Chains A and B, each alone.
Chain A
């Protein structure tokens, strides 16, 4: 593809950031980005959860008063019973792999270089799965039922990757 270098003043700094009008076999192709700043309110429940990850390296779920399920990540309300959750429950940083998939190709957004694995992990004390990455593991040894534990990041920001990854409990 040949870029013609036509000077183009972005109409909008965010939606046509550095957009270029190119030629693709004689037909115009407009190359740009969808790049828009945004911020998301985590809410009180997720804020407490993420702050505890950062400050205490502790994982907290919330229990539904009706079905008694402990939801992780914690939720303000139980999606099954449609009632407010009312009790914080400390969850173990160890648990069991319930499903996994091995990633063999890098993408620009993954938190580590391939190969690594994603897993659905049921931590001891939780009734739902936490999705996270597995590392420090022989990928061919991963199986459902394998026990894993959280490895916390050294520099924590109150974010899901404050748990850097999970690794086998016995390693």
Chain B
């Protein structure tokens, strides 16, 4: 099979609100960065794919609304609902078909513009599920807990899960935290690793981190 290469990428800073830009202006900024990264101008783009998610956008057919800021006018411009990876896959398929050249794919969302509980609750089946008030946080937690149970690593409640930055490390990782008093669980609280007695050379050799109370 022929290969397809990504020749340029642009991404705006990930931050809340971004009040200097409307949606399409935000996309315009990312497109300019991608073109610069690729070392080409908009004339080097053969066709455009714009991708977005209606509910997060507060409008329907939202994917249509950023084509004008993505070099869409005068080009073949296709709009799809979904996340950016789907748009990228669609672009890949277009190029592999042999009918399209360099393809510009854009995707965006602004999660800070609405109430995520309400937006993600609307993803649930209105007949059997939505009225239970689920949003993505407890739904993902249920799936994670089920997976952990099947994998034999589910712990009895109560326990906590946190991002931990160990002394001497510059990055954080996530792990279980055991504690006595929940009110002592705070950002900045110190923890120490408790190792399993029998260790097998996996991450599970760390039994948990104990909150220093």
Q: Which residues of A contact B (CB under 8 A)?
A: 15, 24-25, 27, 29, 32, 34, 40, 42-43, 46, 50, 73, 98-103, 107-111, 118-120, 131-133, 139-140, 142-144, 159-161
Top 8 A-B pairs, shortest CB-CB distance: A101-B141, A110-B133, A99-B146, A107-B117, A109-B133, A99-B145, A40-B126, A73-B128
Q: Does B43 contact A (CB under 8 A)?
A: no
Q: Which residues of B contact A (CB under 8 A)?
A: 17, 19-20, 55, 58-59, 114-115, 117-118, 121, 126-129, 131-135, 138, 141-143, 145-146, 149, 154, 156-158
Cβ contact within 8 Å between B133 and A159: no
Main secondary structure of the interface of A (DSSP, over half): mixed
Complex CA–CA separation, A139 to B182 (angstroms): 14
A27 and B19 contact, Cβ closer than 8 Å, known pairs A118-B138, A140-B157: yes
Cβ contact within 8 Å between B157 and A102: yes
Measured between beta carbons, the chain B residues less than 8 angstroms from A107 are: 117, 133, 135
Cβ contact within 8 Å between A131 and B142: yes
Complex CA–CA separation, A32 to B149 (angstroms): 43
Question: In the complex, what's the smallest C-beta–C-beta distance from A50 to chain B, in angstroms?
Answer: 8
Complex CA–CA separation, A143 to B134 (angstroms): 20
Nearest-CB residue, chain B, relative to A141: B157
A24 and B19 contact, Cβ closer than 8 Å, known pairs A118-B132, A143-B156: yes
Question: In the complex, what's the smallest C-beta–C-beta distance from B131 to chain A, in angstroms?
Answer: 5
Complex CA–CA separation, A29 to B17 (angstroms): 10
Measured between beta carbons, the chain A residues less than 8 angstroms from B129 are: 131, 160
A-B contact pairs, 18 of them (CB 8 A): A34-B59, A34-B114, A99-B146, A102-B158, A108-B118, A109-B118, A109-B133, A109-B135, A110-B133, A111-B131, A111-B133, A118-B134, A120-B142, A131-B129, A131-B134, A132-B132, A160-B129, A161-B131
Cβ contact within 8 Å between A101 and B132: no
Cβ contact within 8 Å between B138 and A103: yes
Question: In the complex, what's the smallest C-beta–C-beta distance from A70 to chain B, in angstroms?
Answer: 16
Question: In the complex, what's the smallest C-beta–C-beta distance from B60 to chain A, in angstroms?
Answer: 9
Question: In the complex, what's the smallest C-beta–C-beta distance from A87 to chain B, in angstroms?
Answer: 20
CB-contact partner of B157 in A24, A111, A142, A160, under 8 A:
A142
Question: In the complex, what's the smallest C-beta–C-beta distance from A69 to chain B, in angstroms?
Answer: 17
Question: In the complex, what's the smallest C-beta–C-beta distance from A63 to chain B, in angstroms?
Answer: 18
Question: In the complex, what's the smallest C-beta–C-beta distance from A82 to chain B, in angstroms?
Answer: 19
Cβ contact within 8 Å between A101 and B121: no
Nearest-CB residue, chain B, relative to A110: B133
Complex CA–CA separation, A140 to B180 (angstroms): 13
A144 and B149 contact, Cβ closer than 8 Å, known pairs A100-B142, A108-B117, A131-B132: yes
A99 and B118 contact, Cβ closer than 8 Å, known pairs A25-B19, A140-B158: no
Cβ contact within 8 Å between A29 and B19: yes
Given contacts A73-B127, A101-B142, A160-B131, 6 further A-B contacts (CB under 8 A): A24-B19, A34-B58, A99-B145, A108-B118, A131-B134, A159-B131
Nearest-CB residue, chain B, relative to A40: B126
Measured between beta carbons, the chain B residues less than 8 angstroms from A50 are: 127
Nearest-CB residue, chain B, relative to A32: B58
Measured between beta carbons, the chain B residues less than 8 angstroms from A160 are: 127-129, 131-132
